[in-house]
Chain A
């Protein structure tokens, strides 16, 4: 799980600035973890008080996604060969003061990967380059025009699992220049380092940004078991099975005399 990365922003105009802090930077996953809510507070510093919009993007570690399409063959619904998408974050939330499309244009959002439609995920195994209309190295996908359907399906399924979200009004101004956002982490949120990027938009352009990070990690027994299972899998497996067999034996002994 590599740390998430976001593309760079244009050099900000010197006049406006944004500042923000998370109420919690270390989410501890222990046995009673049922998800978490993290509150972000921030402030805008702009001597001219120009109209501003704030976009908060939380992005978890990238996870390769395998997705298949069901189709009907002889009355039975079967899966197609799975398509592998890379560059999809394991968790993604874009919260903003207004709908993203009202804040900035398509190109700006695309460059910032702001909004689930603008995530730079693709399926490299399905792509090849060829010469088309005399232009060399044109990237075409085996998925053809359905490519967008596949992409949208990845987003839709992740949204259904509460792992992707676009909160149009997720950032609220609580006072002049002071804003607040809430990030809901489900219990299924992946473990790892999350990047939180706070962007200040004026007149459709990003003028300032702040980067924060958030770590989701297992602690205590959960961490011990996880590490044991992954670092010494054979001893873990043997111990787990020995425990299971002992429990079975113990139960039959306990029940022998009643």
Chain B
């Protein structure tokens, strides 16, 4: 059953998109990520104009994050205060990021920066996470004790001013690192068309040293706020949000996210991290390595007429 999308101005297979939305929503709910890093490349591959794909993704990501954050909220595993501080940084970052992206499109280098960002960020984060989680799995199999990384918290995190108490995360730290982290993720999310969860989750674990059970819900909460803002901004400024495309994706997405959030409790945390790391690595390599292959067509049409 094909459906013509009014804003994207292409015809798509509706059941396929619902299914894709469900699959990505499942992954999203399971790992506490938006899933944009998976969905955006798939949509572009299906022939949807990149600008429309990136913008409509924010609606889908917001919906599936909303769907699963409520489940995490009931389990009291969302630190709303930390999420709010991260989102404040994220709001600033996404406004800046949208401007950077417009400028890059004008230069015609948006493709390059997007592909390089995927390669570098997904590659590095996927690689590190994979290495770490495999180590954890191996240690558990041998019943070896965890290495003493534990609570040697970095002094710079605690020496900064503007301290705030995050009771849910059992932290008393400066708000500066979370705000900078949020802003950085906001910029990246606007450029890469992603929610940024794949960066936030490890950053909250390894940099902010938040308890692992709080991280996923909090990341989702931050993603809702940032993507809701991005989605409205994209619709208002660029008129690139396709409500029909978003609806198709989120029908599957919200259901998939529920199943994913439920399934996540059946796995151990380090196994989940290893799986996520693998997915992240594959997408990063797939997107980035294309830069090194000789293209079969040397010219490329740029989307949008003025930029």
Interface residues of A (CB under 8 A from B): 29-35, 63-72, 75-82, 150, 153-154, 156-158, 187-188, 190-191, 218, 221-223, 225-226, 229-230, 233-234, 236-238, 240-241, 243-245, 247-253, 255
- Complex contact B234–A66 (CB within 8 A): no
- Complex contact B298–A69 (CB within 8 A): yes
Known: A244-B66, A245-B63. A157 touches B236 (CB 8 A): no
Chain A neighbourhood of B228, CB < 8 A:
241, 245
Where chain B touches its partner, the secondary structure class is helix
Q: Which residue of A lies closest to B231 (CB)?
A: A241
- Complex contact B9–A191 (CB within 8 A): yes
Looking at the assembled complex, report how far the CB atom of A25 sits from the nearest CB atom of chain B, in whole angstroms.
20
- Complex contact B239–A238 (CB within 8 A): no
Known: A31-B3, A244-B246. A188 touches B241 (CB 8 A): no
Known: A187-B11, A233-B235, A245-B62. A240 touches B257 (CB 8 A): no
- Complex contact A237–B255 (CB within 8 A): no
CA distance A148 to B304 in the complex (A): 23
Can you identify 26 A-B contacts, CB atoms within 8 angstroms?
A: A31-B244, A32-B2, A34-B4, A66-B304, A68-B299, A70-B298, A77-B295, A79-B112, A80-B108, A153-B299, A157-B301, A187-B4, A188-B9, A226-B6, A226-B7, A229-B241, A238-B232, A240-B241, A241-B235, A244-B60, A248-B63, A248-B65, A249-B70, A251-B258, A252-B66, A253-B70
Known: A79-B111, A187-B11. A237 touches B236 (CB 8 A): yes
CA distance A218 to B244 in the complex (A): 15
How many contacts between A and B, using CB within 8 angstroms? 186
- Complex contact B258–A225 (CB within 8 A): no
Looking at the assembled complex, report how far the CB atom of A163 sits from the nearest CB atom of chain B, in whole angstroms.
10
Looking at the assembled complex, report how far the CB atom of B110 sits from the nearest CB atom of chain A, in whole angstroms.
9
CA distance A138 to B291 in the complex (A): 39
**Binary contact readout B285-307 vs A (1 if CB under 8 angstroms, 0 otherwise):** 00000011111011111101111
Known: A225-B243, A240-B246. A65 touches B301 (CB 8 A): yes
Q: A32-B3, A68-B299, A77-B294 are in contact. List 17 more A-B contacts (CB 8 A).
A: A33-B11, A34-B11, A66-B108, A78-B291, A79-B111, A153-B299, A156-B299, A226-B7, A229-B6, A229-B235, A234-B232, A237-B236, A244-B250, A247-B66, A247-B254, A251-B257, A252-B67
Chain A neighbourhood of B307, CB < 8 A:
66
Chain B neighbourhood of A78, CB < 8 A:
109, 112, 291
Q: Which residue of B lies closest to A73 (CB)?
A: B112
Known: A69-B299, A252-B71, A252-B258. A240 touches B243 (CB 8 A): yes
Looking at the assembled complex, report how far the CB atom of A78 sits from the nearest CB atom of chain B, in whole angstroms.
5
Chain A neighbourhood of B251, CB < 8 A:
247
CA distance A244 to B298 in the complex (A): 39
- Complex contact B297–A234 (CB within 8 A): no
CA distance A82 to B307 in the complex (A): 11
- Complex contact A67–B295 (CB within 8 A): no
CA distance A80 to B258 in the complex (A): 45
Chain A neighbourhood of B109, CB < 8 A:
78-79
CA distance A109 to B228 in the complex (A): 53
Chain A neighbourhood of B305, CB < 8 A:
63-66
**Binary contact readout B47-77 vs A (1 if CB under 8 angstroms, 0 otherwise):** 0000000000001101111111011000000
- Complex contact A255–B258 (CB within 8 A): yes
| Of the residues A29, A71, A82, A218, contact of B108 by C-beta under 8 Å | A82
CA distance A256 to B7 in the complex (A): 34
- Complex contact B292–A244 (CB within 8 A): no
- Complex contact A76–B250 (CB within 8 A): no
B160 within 8 A of A: no
Tell me the B1-27 residues at the A interface (CB within 8 Å): 2-4, 6-7, 9-11
Chain A neighbourhood of B68, CB < 8 A:
252
- Complex contact A248–B250 (CB within 8 A): yes
| Of the residues B67, B71, B107, B291, contact of A77 by C-beta under 8 Å | B291
Looking at the assembled complex, report how far the CB atom of A156 sits from the nearest CB atom of chain B, in whole angstroms.
8
Looking at the assembled complex, report how far the CB atom of A256 sits from the nearest CB atom of chain B, in whole angstroms.
8
- Complex contact B232–A157 (CB within 8 A): no
**Binary contact readout B222-251 vs A (1 if CB under 8 angstroms, 0 otherwise):** 001000100111111101010110110011
Of B4, B234, B292, B297, chain A has the most CB atoms within 10 Å of the CB of B4
Chain B neighbourhood of A64, CB < 8 A:
305-306
Chain B neighbourhood of A218, CB < 8 A:
6
